[in-house]
Structure 1
Amino acid sequence: MSKRRVFDIDFTPDTAAVPAGTVPEAPAEKPAVSRRGPMATAISENADALRTRAEAEEKIRAENDRLAHEFVRLKKLGLMVDRIPIGRIGATKLIRDRREGRDPDLDELKASIKSIGLSNPIRVEENEDGSYELIQGYRRLRAYLELLRETEDEAYEHIPAGLVAKGDTLQSLYRRMVDENLVRRDISFAEMAQLALRYAEDEGTRAKTLEDAVNDLYASAGRQKKIYIRHFAQVLKAVGDALKYPEAIPRALGLELKKRLEADAMNAQVLRDALARVQPSTEEAELEVLRSFVEGKRKNAPRSPAAPRPGVAKTTLRCTVPAGTVRCQARDGKIEMAMERDFSGIDRHKLEDAIAAFFAALEDDG
Structure 2
Amino acid sequence: MSRKRRMFDIDVPDMDGIPVGKAPDHVVPGRRGPMASAISENAESLRERQAAEDSIRAENDRLATEYVELKRAGMIVDRVPLDDIVTDRLVRDRKAGPDEDLAELKDSIRDIGLSNPVRLERRADGKFELVQGMRRLLAYRALREETGAALFDAIPAGIGAQEAQAQVSYRRMVDENLIRKDISFAEMAILARRYAEDPANDCPEVSEAVAVLYKSASYTKRSYIRAFAELVTRLDKVLQFPEQIPRNLGVDLKRRMDGDDGLVARIATAMRAEPGRDGAREVEILRGFLTASDGTLPAGKTDAAKPVKARQAKTTFQVPVDTGVAKCSASAGRLEMRHDVDFSSVDRRSLERAVAAFFAALEADAGSDSSE
**TM-score, normalisation: structure 2:** 0.63
Residues 260 and 66 of structure 1, relative CA distance in 2, 3 Å threshold: same
> Within the alignment, does 1:105 sit opposite 2:101 as a pair?
yes
Equivalent residues of 1:193, 1:230 under 8 A apart: yes
Question: What's the counterpart of residue 193 of structure 2?
Answer: 197
Question: What's the counterpart of residue 179 of structure 1?
Answer: 175
Question: What's the counterpart of residue 86 of structure 1?
Answer: 82
Deviation (angstroms), 1:218: 0.6
Residues 330 and 155 of structure 1, relative CA distance in 2, 3 Å threshold: closer
Residues 123 and 3 of structure 1, relative CA distance in 2, 3 Å threshold: closer
Residues 66 and 203 of structure 1, relative CA distance in 2, 3 Å threshold: farther
Q: For 1:24 and 1:277, how far apart are their aligned partners in 2? A: 119
Matches within 5 A, 1:7-22: 7=6
Matched pairs, number: 262
SS state at 1:104 partner = coil
Q: For 2:194 and 2:126, how far apart are their aligned partners in 1? A: 28
SS state at 1:83 partner = strand
SS state at 2:75 partner = coil
Q: For 2:29 and 2:157, how far apart are their aligned partners in 1? A: 78
SS state at 2:237 partner = helix
Q: Which has the larger radius of gyration?
A: 1
Equivalent residues of 1:118, 1:160 under 8 A apart: yes
Equivalent residues of 1:231, 1:255 under 8 A apart: yes
Question: What's the counterpart of residue 220 of structure 1?
Answer: 216
SS state at 1:241 partner = coil
Question: What's the counterpart of residue 330 of structure 2?
Answer: none
Q: For 1:194 and 1:295, how far apart are their aligned partners in 2? A: 26
Q: For 2:189 and 2:280, how far apart are their aligned partners in 1? A: 21
Equivalent residues of 1:207, 1:213 under 8 A apart: yes
Q: For 1:329 and 1:4, how far apart are their aligned partners in 2? A: 157
Equivalent residues of 2:291, 2:309 under 8 A apart: no
SS state at 1:184 partner = coil
Question: What's the counterpart of residue 5 of structure 1?
Answer: 4
* CA deviations over 1:239-272 (Å, ceiling 9, x no partner): 0331111111001110111012222333222211
Equivalent residues of 1:75, 1:165 under 8 A apart: no
Q: For 2:184 and 2:115, how far apart are their aligned partners in 1? A: 24
Give the counterpart of 1:115 among 97, 107, 111.
111
Question: What's the counterpart of residue 203 of structure 2?
Answer: 207
* CA deviations over 1:196-236 (Å, ceiling 9, x no partner): 11111112213231111111111110010000000000000
Instruction: Give the residue type in structure 1 aligned to 2:220.
Output: Q
Q: For 1:220 and 1:329, how far apart are their aligned partners in 2? A: 39
Q: Alignment RMSD, CA only?
A: 3.6
SS state at 1:123 partner = strand
SS state at 2:179 partner = helix
Residues 329 and 257 of structure 1, relative CA distance in 2, 3 Å threshold: closer
Equivalent residues of 1:72, 1:165 under 8 A apart: no
> Within the alignment, does 1:242 sit opposite 2:241 as a pair?
no
SS state at 2:236 partner = helix
Q: For 2:307 and 2:181, how far apart are their aligned partners in 1? A: 41
Instruction: Give the residue type in structure 2 aligned to 1:5.
Output: K
Equivalent residues of 1:280, 1:286 under 8 A apart: no
Give the counterpart of 2:147 among 128, 151, 162.
151
Instruction: Give the residue type in structure 2 aligned to 1:79.
Output: M
260-269 or 220-229, which moves further after superposition?
A: 260-269
Instruction: Give the residue type in structure 2 aligned to 1:138.
Output: M
Equivalent residues of 1:197, 1:233 under 8 A apart: yes
Matched-pair identity in %: 44
Question: What's the counterpart of residue 268 of structure 2?
Answer: 272
Instruction: Give the residue type in structure 2 aligned to 1:199.
Output: Y
Residues 203 and 71 of structure 1, relative CA distance in 2, 3 Å threshold: farther
Residues 328 and 196 of structure 1, relative CA distance in 2, 3 Å threshold: closer
SS state at 2:130 partner = strand
Instruction: Give the residue type in structure 2 aligned to 1:154.
Output: A
Equivalent residues of 1:200, 1:210 under 8 A apart: yes
Q: For 1:227 and 1:288, how far apart are their aligned partners in 2? A: 24
Q: For 1:92 and 1:71, how far apart are their aligned partners in 2? A: 29
SS state at 1:278 partner = coil
Residues 297 and 277 of structure 1, relative CA distance in 2, 3 Å threshold: farther
Q: For 2:115 and 2:61, how far apart are their aligned partners in 1? A: 31
Instruction: Give the residue type in structure 2 aligned to 1:83.
Output: R
